Amino acid sequence: MSPETRWNRRDTLSALALVAASFVLRALFLFGAIDSAWPHSTLYEGDALVWLEWARALRAGQPFEFDLPVRAPGIAFLLSWFGGELVAPFTGLKLLFCGLSAATVGFFFAGLRARASFAVATTASTLLALSFAQYELATSLNNEAPYLALATGALALHVWTGPKRGWGSAVALGALHGLANLLRTEHVGFVAIVLVFELFRSRRELGVAVPRALASLAALVLISLPWTLRAHEAVVRFNEVEPRPIPFVGTRPTWSPDAQVALRELPAFAREGMFLMVTDRVGRAGRSSVERADLERVLDTEFGYRPEPLAAWTLGSTKAKLDLALSNDLTCDGGFSRAALSDKFDRDPPFAFGRPSHLKLYNRGDEVALATLREHPSEWFTLAAAKLARFESGLALGFGATNLPHGLGLRRAAVDIAAPAQRSLVWSVTVLGLGALGLVLALRRGVAAEWGLWLAFKLLVTVAFYGYARQGATAQPALYLGVACALEFVCARAGNLERWLWRALLAAAVLVALADLGPWSRPRDLFATPSPGVRFGPVPQAAEGAFGCSGDITLAPRPPK
């Protein structure tokens, strides 16, 4: 690998061609489906309907989820600004997302050309351009397409400018990371990792590198600051202001002054529910007065937790601890699960901050998850393996509109992208093996350090939180870099066959792209079958003919009439 590190005219033309071809392929994929006007798609529903509801609330000036920072806000604000009337058809917005996904390919190529050969950069970027997983992400109004564009652009800037980058580059880098953080809150963790890595590499020149890193972090914070202040105000209000006064006067049994003080020591949002529960318990016991001990007894014996205020400061979302608890519950199968929300009172209740068992998971979910790991290590490692299997199903997805070589026999897990219903061991071993070999070669030659960190971070997030195929899809650039490096290694040792091998790879890519024209002639119509017990039905508020599903579904091409 002897890259030409100077950017030249050929690189510019190649990047533009890759972006243009990527956009065309994604647009063809979008218009080749019956769900092109929906905010989501049959292949990937995710939280698109939630983002749409939030965007409509923003547009109407109405609160959404009490305006709390439960979710990263980026997509909701993006839709509210650029979504027009926020009614179907959503095709224009989806084309914007297709453009962002195409830009990801261009950023990826540009970042690779800083260190890798033209052949490696072109091969890896072509694989990303043709990835079925990227088609899925580009055609649903969810976080991943814009997030991956921002993250890939930031990584390209990291590679080209280095830790001693100019002040303008440092601020631009922080701005990209700040926008990415508003889409995926865990991105702050990756920023910390990659900046520490850069400082380690330039440890002999920290006087130059550290101020640049701090400038990037300052820009990230400034980009996030409006949301941080808005969220802080909402959390303080939620913690301290009762939605309506507690009706102590006239209630039977009466609340003693000390019991009233004890109730007011709880966060405002938790008071009404506990007031009703304790009043009912004491009344059923035939007593005429509620004492402090009654409230404390219910909290300690029924819930094992005394409500605490929500954290008031965040750069993105405060839901990470809840996700840790839910995703590491041993009844979870590796994907999204709400099983840990069930308690002694209800099975699968809706999440409520006023329910102490739920609030405990929200405020102390990290402790709950660590306790599970300590007490049941073997079961937890089995769960972690299941998460990684889901990650791999997205990482090793096929190519083109028909998901070659897997086909369109798919399974879509809750809030995830569709992945092959029947995986091919040969395909997975081949692709992942080539990727691993190539990444080792690339790391030894200093080509792939940042992308290696990206892949490692994605694996860490998967093990710690939910196992999602879409998480694997966002790690595909690192895999394809490895595959391209491995192919270059093989071709370089093929002697006279090297030119023919590259031509064969190019021909295969062209054939996959041409195959995408087939579905264009007839809209792609996948028949969806929900798993038993899964809620499945029309969502007319999204678009005519749209349906939503809260759990797992299987997908298969509908037979021609």
In the predicted structure, residue 2 carries a pLDDT above the cut 70 = no
Read off the pLDDT band of 513 (50, 70, 90): confident
In the predicted structure, residue 495 carries a pLDDT above the cut 80 = no
Read off the pLDDT band of 415 (50, 70, 90): very high
In the predicted structure, residue 521 carries a pLDDT above the cut 70 = no
- Work out the angle at residue 180's Cα, subtended by the Cα atoms of residues 179 and 181, and round it to the nearest 5 degrees: 90
Read off the pLDDT band of 411 (50, 70, 90): very high
Specify the pLDDT at position 499: 76
85-129 pLDDT tens trace: 999 999 999 999 999 999 999 999 999 999 999 999 999 999 999
CA nearest 385: which of 470, 463, 454, 473? Answer: 463
Specify the pLDDT at position 535: 84
73: preceding bond cis by omega (within 30 degrees): no
Specify the pLDDT at position 82: 93
Specify the pLDDT at position 3: 44
Integer Cα distance of 420 and 472 in angstroms: 13
Alpha-helical segments (H) within 32-166: 48-60, 74-82, 91-113, 118-130, 132-138, 144-161
156-171 pLDDT tens trace: 999 999 999 999 999 9
Q: Which two tokens stand for residue 408?
A: 């369109």
More confident residue, 493 or 330: 330
Domains in the chain (CATH in brackets) are: 9-228+391-553 (no CATH), 254-303 (1.10.8), 320-382 (no CATH)
- Work out the angle at residue 152's Cα, subtended by the Cα atoms of residues 150 and 155, and round it to the nearest 5 degrees: 110
CB-based contact 528:554 (threshold 8 Å): yes
Integer Cα distance of 50 and 28 in angstroms: 26
Read off the pLDDT band of 5 (50, 70, 90): low
Span 457-473, mean pLDDT? 99
In the predicted structure, residue 289 carries a pLDDT above the cut 50 = yes
Specify the pLDDT at position 1: 42
Specify the pLDDT at position 520: 56
> What are 399's strand-pairing partners?
131, 404
Specify the pLDDT at position 519: 60
Determine how β-strand 289-290 pairs with β-strand 254-255.
parallel
In the predicted structure, residue 287 carries a pLDDT above the cut 90 = yes
More confident residue, 545 or 238: 238
In the predicted structure, residue 477 carries a pLDDT above the cut 70 = yes
Query: If you write DSSP's letter for every residue of 474-535 in order, what string do you get?
Result: HTHHHHHHHHHHHHHHHHHTSGGGHHHHHHHHHHHHHHHHHHTHHHHTS-B-EEEEEPTT--
Q: Lowest mean pLDDT of 50-64, 248-262, 523-537, name the range.
A: 523-537
Q: What is the pTM of this model?
A: 0.95
417-429 pLDDT tens trace: 999 999 899 999 9
Integer Cα distance of 387 and 33 in angstroms: 30
In the predicted structure, residue 523 carries a pLDDT above the cut 70 = no
In the predicted structure, residue 352 carries a pLDDT above the cut 50 = yes
CB-based contact 149:103 (threshold 8 Å): yes
Query: If you write DSSP's letter for every residue of 275-340 in order, what string do you get?
Result: HHHHHHHHHHTT-SEE-HHHHHHIIIIIIS----PPP---SS-S-HHHHHHHHT-TT--SS---GG
Integer Cα distance of 403 and 549 in angstroms: 22
Q: Lowest mean pLDDT of 185-189, 390-394, 490-494, name the range.
A: 490-494
Span 238-243, mean pLDDT? 97
Percentage of the chain with pLDDT > 90?
A: 86
Integer Cα distance of 36 and 31 in angstroms: 6
In the predicted structure, residue 4 carries a pLDDT above the cut 60 = no
Specify the pLDDT at position 155: 98
Identity of the amino acid at 182? L
- In which order are the strands placed within the sheet that holds 410-412? 418-420, 410-412, 553-557, 526-530
Q: CB neighbours of 444 closer than 8 A, spacing ≥ 6? A: none
Span 460-476, mean pLDDT? 99
Read off the pLDDT band of 392 (50, 70, 90): very high
Share the mean pLDDT of the chain.
94
Backbone φ/ψ region at 403: left (φ over 0), alpha (ψ -120 to 50), beta: left
In the predicted structure, residue 19 carries a pLDDT above the cut 90 = yes
In the predicted structure, residue 446 carries a pLDDT above the cut 90 = no
Specify the pLDDT at position 193: 98
Span 134-144, mean pLDDT? 98
Span 55-72, mean pLDDT? 98
Span 243-255, mean pLDDT? 95
In the predicted structure, residue 200 carries a pLDDT above the cut 80 = yes
